[in-house]
Amino acid sequence: MKERVKAFFRRNKDLRIKPKVLASRLNIDEHEYPQLKAVLNKLVEEGFLEKSGKRYKLIPQVEGDLTGTFQYAPEGGYGFVRTENRFLRDLFIPEKFMGTAFDGDVVKVELLAHKKGKNFEGKIIEVLERSRNEIIGTLKKTKAFYFVEPEDKKIHRKIYVDKKFLNGAKPEDKVVVTDIEWIDPHLPPIGVIKETLGKAGSYDIEIYSLARENGFSPTFPRKVLTAAKKIPVKIKEEEIKNRLDYRKITTFTIDPVDAKDFDDALSLRKLRNGNFEVGIHIADVSHYVRKNEAIYKEAEKRATSVYFVGKVVPMLPERLSNKICSLVPNEERLTFSVIAELTPRAKVVNYKIAKTVIKSDKRFTYEEAQKILDDGKGAFYDELFRLSKLARHLRNKRFRNGSINFHTPEVAFKLDKNGVPIEAKVKKEIETHHLVEEFMLLANRIVATHVNKKKKEEKPFVYRVHDLPDREKLIEFAKFVKSLGFSFDPNSPNTPKQFQALLEQVKGTEEEALINNVAIRSMAKAEYSTKNIGHYGLAFKYYTHFTSPIRRFPDLVVHNLIFSYVTKNNPEYSLKELDEICKHSSEQERKATNAERQSVRIKQVEFMKNHLGDVFTGVISGVTNFGMFIELTENLAEGLIRLRDLESDFYEYNEKQYSLVGIRTGKVYRLGDKVKVQVVRVDETRHEIDFMLVEDEKSDKGKKRKNKKKKNKSKRGSR
């Protein structure tokens, strides 16, 4: 019987099955059924099967060791190794088995028989490839030793430096450590100081080190700057003659107030047939940045601009990004355009993709354009009104087709002349944001669809893809929103509409930011790929990035590719080359996002240090066995209430209910609960904020209800 059961599970590797169903599949009668149950339990003990509820499933059998990328979780002191094995995607690595691995290293792992939660445990037995050549941190000194405390919390060990390798650095300097050796996990890693960046604490130094830490250089090589200097600002007349001339058609840009690189503009004119021609004009970076030249190679290496608070590390030298390619008003600029003919209800009836020349009439900020729409008058009101109306039709159509309106709230900072934050608040989403967004989405979709017009002819291309969400993550998300009092059916055949209905339901509530963030985390990550699988979140069959070549390298590549297809020339890229570009650009995008979040965190902490003792309203954004994280509603700053500081009771962590439960009082603090907190500690070095609970919303309501009852009793008594 044991061999029959093992053979069945080997044939059905992904199947989870109940014993009675298995008995039926194996033609086992009721007399043999107890023996089957005993065999199943024995196979669980032997590590051949795993049991989840009443179902049994094969534990993937691995021959030899696995390799993967180590990811350290600083909040828990453990890690995971992400492997290519689809059955063992994430292996849990306890601290004692992390060996000499740093976050991001490629490692060899030995699979252990037992599990930690849903994940199998592993032990790192060898580091195959280091992810970092250098680590940035602050130099510290004890009585006898010098060491560097890494800036990145994911680097979990201090790097010791011999006095003779200090290279002139002094304690509290921000430094770059290189030549790092770590051979024995019982001994500290050692390194050599390569460069001193400056005194820790200055914002310029913080941003410089943050950029370097994430692999972005704040400065350009000399040969790149020299090449940029040689590019003329003036456009040659022959070039203009080869392009569609849109200089006399009403055109304008709409951008954030602090934007310096304007890479998209919109034009509008009404056609005789009652339709509208909308021009989506994108800076023609590909005209100036040629493949394999110095500027191109540097842009390929960076792959993206990085937007820190108050500072930008650009992908292209500023002479290009802020001047030659930027679509500034009243200046002739070369563009690559998608020109779409739309009916009054925004149905695309025709389009063309062509090189153009424009002269922007006006530079709007989002707020300026919104004020004109709200007032019903002002510069280019008619054009703004018509574009806004068309954008609403496009947006509504997108949602009807299953597009999900994820909205991640962002923080806007007001900085003084020294870069110190004097105001921090959540950015307000306005209609003009949607106006620009819809036409950018339209251009991206038209370009990707154009490449796939002749379906028999598959052309090498760069797509922006978004895979279906993982079913287990959907089930977890459903449990999470249920704990907040909302419903989500993970088994629904139409999950995009489920997501959209939920996001509409929570709009404007205290839980909105939290649910949006958790919803996004339950999704696959959007990325670049030469294999088109569609874009789940937008509900587009074909999608790419075409609209931001000043700040995204894949857009520049797409410009080159689409131009070759429009002009019927052979593309300059092989499929292998495009695959490498997609992989690198996706990695760089993740690094840039991480760096930008760290930058926001630094400024939030800096802002909160002036609010020690102040009371704020917030939402419980995370619950752990050591406390709960609170995200402030006003500015999204996140801090910790430690378990030891909850003095009213002893609290136990309930992982399944995302909650802390009082042993004596039964008081429950759940994810998403609204609370009032006082700022009690701000650590700028570690970028940490500690809160103390003042009084939560539920207890306030409880008091009000009690007081109301007392008043009613006294009234009845007096009557």
Helix (H) or strand (E) holding 209: helix 203-213
Residue pair 72/132 in contact by the 8 Å Cβ criterion: no
- Record the tokens describing residue 232, joined without a space: 């003329």
Taking CA atoms, 696 is separated from 188, 608, 633, 662, in Å, by 44, 20, 14, 15
581 assigned to some structural domain: no
Contact call for residues 520 and 408 (beta carbons, < 8 A):
yes
Place of tokens 């806004």: 388
Q: Structure pTM?
A: 0.80
Distance of CA 106 to the CA centre of its chain: 22
Residues 6+ apart with CB under 8 A from 238: none
C-alpha to C-alpha distance for 244 and 356, rounded to whole angstroms: 5
| Contacts of the segment 215-218: beta carbons below 8 A, 24+ positions apart | 215/588, 215/591, 216/302, 216/306, 216/313, 216/591, 216/592, 216/595, 217/302, 217/313, 218/313
Q: How far apart are CA 425 and CA 411, in angstroms?
A: 5
Burial group, residue 510, by CB count within 10 angstroms (0-12, 13-18, 19+): middle
Q: 515 lies in a domain?
A: no
Angle made by CA atoms 605, 480, 618, in degrees to the nearest 5: 30
Is the pLDDT at 353 greater than 60? The verdict is yes
Mean pLDDT for the stretch of residues 427-441: 95
Looking at the domain assignment, is residue 496 inside a domain? no
Query: Residue with structure tokens 């995370």?
Result: 622
Q: Which of 458, 304, 430 is nearest to 372 (CA)?
A: 430
Please say which residue of 520, 542, 570 terminates a domain.
570
Q: Integer distance in angstroms from the first to the last C-alpha of the chain? A: 82
Is residue 714, in this structure, part of any structural domain at all?
Answer: no
Position 708 pLDDT exceeds 80: no
* Average pLDDT for 116-140: 86
Higher pLDDT, 432 or 25: 432
Q: Are residues 50 and 166 in the same domain?
A: no
Give the pLDDT of residue 641: 94
Task: Decide if 480 is inside a domain.
Answer: no
Alpha-carbon Rg for the chain, nearest whole angstrom, is: 29
pLDDT tens, position by position, 292-314 = 999 999 999 999 999 999 899 99
The span from the CA of 178 to the CA of 190, in Å, is 9
Q: Are residues 100 and 139 in the same domain?
A: no
**Residues 302 and 439 reside in one and the same domain:** yes
pLDDT over 60 (residue 709) = no
Going by C-alpha positions, the residue among 370, 391, 366 that lies closest to residue 442 is: 391
Q: Helix or strand or coil: residue 501?
A: helix
Q: How many CB atoms lie within 10 A of CB 179?
A: 12
CA dihedral defined by 120, 124, 128, 132, rounded to 10 degrees? 100
Say which DSSP state 525 is in: P
Alpha carbon distance 432, 384 (integer Å): 9
The separation between CA 244 and the C-alpha centre of its own chain, rounded to angstroms, equals 38
Tell whether 279 is covered by a domain: yes
Rounded to 10 deg, the angle between the 222-229 and 294-302 helix axes is 120
Same domain, 44 and 91: no
Domain assignment of residue 158, yes or no: yes
Confidence of residue 491 (pLDDT cuts 50, 70, 90): confident
Instruction: Determine the Cα–Cα distance for residues 712 and 695; give it in Å rounded to an integer.
Output: 25
Largest CA distance in the chain: 96
Residue 588 within a domain:
no
The answer, yes or no, to whether residue 638 has pLDDT greater than 60, is yes
Of all residues in the chain, the percent with pLDDT exceeding 70 is: 94
Strand partners, 632: 618
Residue 474 near residue 522, CB atoms below 8 Å: yes
Average pLDDT of the segment spanning 143-161? 91
Given a contact cutoff of 8 angstroms between Cβ atoms, the answer to whether 659 and 709 are in contact is: no
Residues 72 and 43 in one domain: no
Phi and psi at residue 348, to the nearest 5°: -80, 115
Residues 620 and 646 placed together within one structural domain of the fold: yes
Coil/strand/helix, residue 177: strand
Provide the 3-class DSSP secondary structure of residue 168: coil
Q: What is the DSSP string of 88-121?
A: S-EEEE-GGG-TTPPTT-EEEEEEEEEEETTEEE
Domain that includes residue 426, residue range? 223-458+529-570
> Which amino acid, 55?
R
Q: Tell me, yes or no, whether 661 and 693 share the same domain.
A: yes
pLDDT cut 90: percent of the chain above it: 61
Determine the Cα–Cα distance for residues 346 and 386; give it in Å rounded to an integer.
11
Please indicate, yes or no, whether residues 380 and 337 belong to a single structural domain of this protein.
Answer: yes
Judged on CB neighbours under 10 Å (0-12, 13-18, 19+), 205 is: middle
Judge contact between 199 and 172, C-beta under 8 A: yes
Count how many domains the chain has: 5
Q: Is the pLDDT of residue 361 over 70?
A: yes
| Pairing of the two strands 159-161 and 190-199 | parallel
Alpha-helical (H) ranges within 452-549 are 471-483, 495-506, 512-521
Contact between 591 and 215 under an 8 Å Cβ cutoff? The reply is yes
Which pLDDT score is estimated for 116?
A: 61
Q: Residue 330 burial by CB count (10 A; 0-12/13-18/19+): exposed, middle or buried? A: exposed
Phi, psi of 237 (to 5 degrees): -60, -35
Q: Are 314 and 219 in contact (CB under 8 A)?
A: no
What is the pLDDT confidence band of residue 407, given thresholds at 50, 70 and 90?
A: confident
**What gap in Å lies between CA 22 and CA 532, rounded to an integer?**
39
Residue 115: the pLDDT is 63
What is the CATH classification number for the domain harbouring 683? Answer: 2.40.50.140
Are residues 245 and 368 both part of a single domain?
Answer: yes
pLDDT classification of 703: cutoffs 50, 70, 90: very low
Regarding whether 450 and 352 lie in a shared domain, the answer is yes
Rounded CA separation 229/135 (Å): 33
Question: Is there a single domain that holds both residue 42 and residue 95?
Answer: no
Taken as a whole, the chain contains a residue count of: 719
Q: Is the pLDDT of residue 380 over 60?
A: yes
CATH number of the domain encompassing residue 163: 2.40.50.700
Reply yes or no on whether the pLDDT at 207 is more than 50: yes
Average pLDDT, the chain: 89
* In the predicted structure, residue 53 carries a pLDDT above the cut 90: no
**Band (368; pLDDT cuts 50, 70, 90):** very high
Burial (CB count within 10 angstroms: exposed 0-12, middle 13-18, buried 19+), residue 681:
middle
How far is it, in rounded angstroms, from Cα 208 to Cα 216? Answer: 9
pLDDT of residue 63: 60
User: According to the model, what pLDDT value does residue 220 have?
Assistant: 95
Residue range 506-551, pLDDT digits in tens: 887 777 777 887 888 888 899 999 999 999 999 999 999 999 999 9
Q: How many CB atoms lie within 10 A of CB 694?
A: 12
- Say if residue 237 is in the same domain as residue 106: no
Per-residue confidence (pLDDT) for residue 117, from 0 to 100: 61
Closest CA to 81 of 115, 117, 124: 124
- Confidence tier at 64 by pLDDT (50, 70, 90): low
The kind and range of the H/E element at 28 are none
- Rounded CA-CA distance 605/640 in Å is 12
Measured CA to CA, the distance from residue 92 to residue 71 in angstroms comes to: 10
Q: Model confidence over 69-97: pLDDT tens digits?
A: 999 988 778 999 988 776 677 889 999 99
- Tokens for 280? 């989506």
Cα–Cα distance, 640 to 675 (Å, whole number): 13
